[in-house]
A and B are shown apart, each in its own frame.
Chain A
Amino acid sequence: MNSSWQREIKAVFLKELNSELRTKSGLITASLFSVVTVVALAYAAYNTSLSGTIAAGLIWVSILFATIVSIPRIFLIEEELGTMDILRLTARPHSIFWGKSLFSLAQSIVTAFLLAGMFVAFVGQRIYDPTLFLVSIFGGSVCLSSAVTLCGSLVAQAANRSALAAAIAVPLLLPVVTMAVGATRGSLGAGFHQQAVNCALGLIAYAIASQAIGPGLFALVWKS
């Protein structure tokens, strides 16, 4: 990667970071959603021991919806503020996707680890394999962020964009959630450990594939 690409990606990433630090809307929305969800789950599971499978399912459904609530906004906000055209003029599509994708990845990882950490602490869930747990949360976050960023860019110019972003992103993300639940439940002591490791490896492969496909598809629609 030559320096001009790096400069553009860094500029887009910093632009997103500065915008976020100015308003903190994405961070506040995702954090509040995470806290409310975990409190609701812990309240519902009061005095009950959750199995690893149920706990993994609850964690990933919460992360999925927290991601869908916060991440598509990075493209929708450009359209709402009318800054999309300036972005088109100043950077190449691949740089824009990578810059925004890296920012959404950072946001997704923070949200996922916050949510999973709070869930484990509040519900008192025991982690049997911390490495597998971390890998599953990280791999799942990468997959979620790239797919949701792409879906956000696809619906940015649509009339009913906020609702549509979730409607088109969820079916694409269900395979990711399936693998992520498989990997996380193994780390929480449920199911066979080798199967959970296979799911984690599948998740990493899926993350690489989705990150490879995303910029190309984004470049195809960016000038539309």
Chain B
Amino acid sequence: MEKLKNLLRPLFFVAFSIVTVWTYIVPDAKGFQYPAMARIFFWHFPCSILLLAFMFTGIYFSFRVFKRVDRGFTSVESAIEKMQWDSRAEAAMELGFIWAILTMVTGILFSLVQWGAWWQWDPRQTSFLIALLIYGGYFALRNSFPDPEKRAHFSGAYCLASALPIFFLVLVYPRLPQVQAVSFHPTNTIMQGQLKGQYGYVTITMLVLMSILSVWLYRLRTRVVLHEIALDYKNGNLEISGRSATPSGVVRPVSVPDENESATERN
């Protein structure tokens, strides 16, 4: 298995390099002010899809923080399970935040080149900016709670509360007829079959490769955090809501001052 992984990693990077070169050699798209620069789309589109995918994944993992599954766990084991789901939610939100920033950067670049201004207050642009602010609110709230269990609860609830505005902002508002009429940003490009030929193939391939990269990064991130939790639990360093989560059967070392030494110090 390890050998297969070692083989797949270089293969992935070779494939990514080939597709990156492919993005430069496809014929220019028609209907743009600077057709050569329309290639930003190959990077912009997968970033926006992954942003949404990770945001909804984060919302699902936050939901799992609160979902009660009766597995006969003790309260400490349940708390640890919650922390594990919370770590997964955090990892998904972190990756979503990175993709949100990349979406904004590539979108701004596209706007500057094709529409003549770096920021248009276009409804779609602004929707993604608000999504970025919601990510900011999530991390601000997380950092305000030092206790891991409270952090999991409060940030999870905020993540769930953000589902409604995110759904509205990204999937409903930009598709309203009155908004579409004034927006520069196209909608339903793929669903209406506007991406044809090599442009379509490059876009889909790039989306697949970036998704693989995201999943790989996500797995690395969660593996580190889950190992940290397991190690803290094993060593008796894990504290949940102010109480120790030391596993049963483990004796914690206690330093007892030597009576003779104490007497000497007193004298």
| Chain A residues within 8 Å of B, Cβ to Cβ | 147, 150-151, 154-155, 157-161, 164, 167-168, 170-172, 174-175, 178, 192, 195, 198, 206, 209-210, 213, 217-218, 220-221, 224
Contacts and interface: CB of A to CB of B under 8 A. Distances in A.
A213 B164 contact: yes
Given A155-B144, A178-B173, A224-B149, A171 B137 contact: yes
Contact of B161 (A157, A158, A178, A213): A213
Contacts, number: 84
Contact of A224 (B153, B168, B176, B178): B153
B141 A210 contact: no
B170 to A, nearest CB: 10
B164 A210 contact: yes
A3 to B, nearest CB: 29
B141 A155 contact: yes
B66 interface: yes
User: Most chain-B Cβ atoms within 10 A of its Cβ — which of A195, A213, A221?
Assistant: A221
B101 interface: no
Contacts of B133: 170-171, 174
Nearest to B131: A171
A125 B173 CA distance: 28
A172 B149 contact: no
Interface in B149-194: 149-150, 153-154, 156-158, 160-162, 164-165, 168-169, 173, 176, 178
Interface residues of B, number: 28
Contacts of A206: 164, 168
Nearest to B162: A172
B26 to A, nearest CB: 37
29 contacts: A147-B161, A151-B158, A154-B141, A154-B158, A154-B161, A155-B144, A155-B154, A158-B154, A159-B144, A161-B144, A164-B140, A164-B141, A164-B144, A168-B140, A168-B141, A170-B133, A171-B136, A171-B137, A171-B165, A172-B137, A174-B165, A192-B178, A198-B176, A206-B164, A217-B160, A218-B157, A220-B156, A221-B154, A224-B149
B235 to A, nearest CB: 25
B49 interface: no
B130 A175 contact: yes
B145 A157 contact: yes
B150 A217 contact: no
B134 interface: yes
User: Most chain-B Cβ atoms within 10 A of its Cβ — which of A171, A174, A195?
Assistant: A171
B148 to A, nearest CB: 11
Given A192-B178, A221-B153, 18 more contacts: A151-B161, A154-B157, A155-B154, A158-B141, A161-B144, A164-B141, A168-B140, A171-B130, A171-B137, A172-B137, A172-B161, A174-B169, A175-B169, A206-B168, A220-B66, A220-B156, A224-B150, A224-B154
A221 B136 CA distance: 20
Contact of A160 (B137, B144, B149, B156): B144
Contacts of B141: 154-155, 158, 164, 168
Nearest to A174: B130
Interface in B72-128: none
Contacts of B130: 171, 174-175
A175 B52 CA distance: 17
Contacts of B144: 155, 158-161, 164
B137 A157 contact: no
